[in-house]
Amino acid sequence: MEELLQFIQANIQYAHWIIFGALLLAGFNIPVSEDGMLFISGVLASNFPDHLVRLFIAVYMGAYLSDLICYTLGRKLGPKLFEIKFFANMVPPERIDKIHNFYERYGIVTLLIGRFIPFGVRNGLFLTAGLGKMDFQKFALADLLACTISTVVFFSLYYHFGNSIIEYVKQGNIVLFSIVAIGIGVYFYQKKQKKQDS
């Protein structure tokens, strides 16, 4: 991460294009970390305030368009996508099934919460939304909201706190994931109890 930050910093006049392009590649499931790009953008904006607006727009638009690309791949290619070894290895069918079940039960809330969970969960969400033929407008608007919240929050944190925030974000993602897991567990427990009572 540090080497990438130094490379982009050395080419600061092109930084926004590099970040935007890297995020578009992430839409094709090429392993580019959105969190990493947000971190780099925030730190660079802090070091080079003249580039703040361009860096924010680049990371925001890159993240959002990347999501739309991923959704479109799922929608247009459908299950054929998993005949391509590259995609089959990156997003295993078991994870897709699990995410699809969450969409079935919780709808758009899955997208809003899942947007904050890294490590391949995001792209799995977007692919599954496409594979499940979720209405494009519904997906685009829900993801626009989720992307706006996550990008503004993380860019601001990285802008103000830089390197020191990484550990807090890691812990925060773990805490958020735990809260979601507990919430889902409680929901299913209550549902099971209701069935037993009736």
Question: How large is the average pLDDT for residues 172-181?
Answer: 59
Exposure string of 179-191, with b = 16+ CB inside 10 Å and e = fewer, is: ebeeeeeeeeeee
pLDDT at 7: 81
* H runs (alpha helix) in 48-164: 52-77, 85-90, 93-106, 108-114, 121-131, 136-161
Reported confidence tier of residue 138, pLDDT bands at 50, 70, 90: confident
Mean pLDDT of the chain: 80
Please name the residues in contact with 56: beta carbons below 8 A apart, sequence gap of 6 or more: 41, 45, 151, 155
Across 35-44, 59-68, 83-92, 166-175, the highest mean pLDDT is recorded for: 59-68
pLDDT at 59: 97
Question: Are 8 and 15 within 8 A, CB to CB?
Answer: yes
Which one is predicted more confidently, 122 or 12? 12
Give the pTM: 0.74
